[in-house]
Amino acid sequence: MIENPFLPVSRADVERAASRIAGGVVRTPLVPSPTLSERAGQAVHLKLETRQPIGAFKLRGAINAILSLEDAARRRGLVTASTGNHGRAVAYAARELGVSATICMSSLVPANKVEAIRSLGADIRIVGVSQDDAQDEVERLVQTLRLTPIPPFDDVNVVAGQGTIGLELVEDLPDLATVLVPLSGGGLAGGIAVAVKALKPQARIIGISMERGAAMHAAIAAGKPVAVREEETLADSLGGGIGLSNRVTFALCRDLLDGIVLLTEDEIAAGIRHAAREEDEVVEGAGAVGIAAILADKVQLLGPTAVIVSGGNIDPEIHRNLIGRSTR
């Protein structure tokens, strides 16, 4: 495949990221799902990013971005906005490297994710009711304290780090035909699409999001980044906007995704329940959306399929309540 030279992230960027983060992240397993394969009529495999030390894929992009910095920039201290998992990744990497981290989050971030970040020694700032509010605080801290920002998604090194998942998918499943990937700001979907499309041009990359506040879907429909009201959802990690001045992920998702599927809250809940009951996996809402899309018959799978199970950091009480609820 001849890569589009105008896209902001290349296969070479992803390959460099793979070398840089080797040893710092887990090469996660790709496991078959007999129940989903039977339902879909195609071989379905789950890419378990829940196996990362922080329980989510975000560690790949965070470590790549932080290791790409000059030492002086790291030593000034790191800062980021997060819906939970990226903040945990930055806090974890900062602790490993012996530098400070400040994580800005809105009041919509679940308490279990906030406490997990606090336990890693990061400074916590709860600001406003949206990811945009948290990002405003990041920009203030960059200006006033000269902290070094680690963007949650709209950054070449963050995207390249997430894209290493795509390299692993093609290596582990050479006849890969479809990837179902959670879609939020586009760092995960865009990075995987860059890697997979470079190696398997005919493979389809389908972004999966929720009906409540799907910012990238709204942006692609509008042909440009737009403001979207952030709402409470079981897929809380997929919340937040993509930034009106988006430089990286909008173009990647616009040009490389083969479709976007939106899910209801009941459908996401069904995905979480299936993961627990049939796959023996504890999965948060954002991580369950690929499973949910198959269960809801909202995707047509053409050949061997990889479902990105992006994270497992769900509030235990919410998980217990969902698993105890009978399926409709």
pLDDT tens profile 8-62 = 999 999 999 999 999 999 999 999 999 999 999 999 999 999 999 999 999 999 9
The span from the CA of 260 to the CA of 205, in Å, is 9
pLDDT at residue 6 in the model: 80
- For the chain, how many helices (H) and strands (E)? 14, 10
pLDDT at residue 157 in the model: 98
Q: Write out pLDDT tens, residues 115-137.
A: 999 999 999 999 999 999 999 99
Q: Write out pLDDT tens, residues 52-89.
A: 999 999 999 999 999 999 999 999 999 999 999 999 99
- Beta strand pairing call for 101-105 and 259-263: unpaired
Confidence band (pLDDT; 50, 70, 90) for 1?
Answer: very low
The helix/strand/coil state of 128 is coil
pTM of the model: 0.96
pLDDT at residue 4 in the model: 73
Q: Please, which residues have CB within 8 angstroms of residue 3's CB and are 6 or more apart in sequence?
A: 10, 11, 198
- Domains belonging to the chain, first-starting first, are 11-56+156-324 (3.40.50.1100), 58-149 (3.40.50.1100)
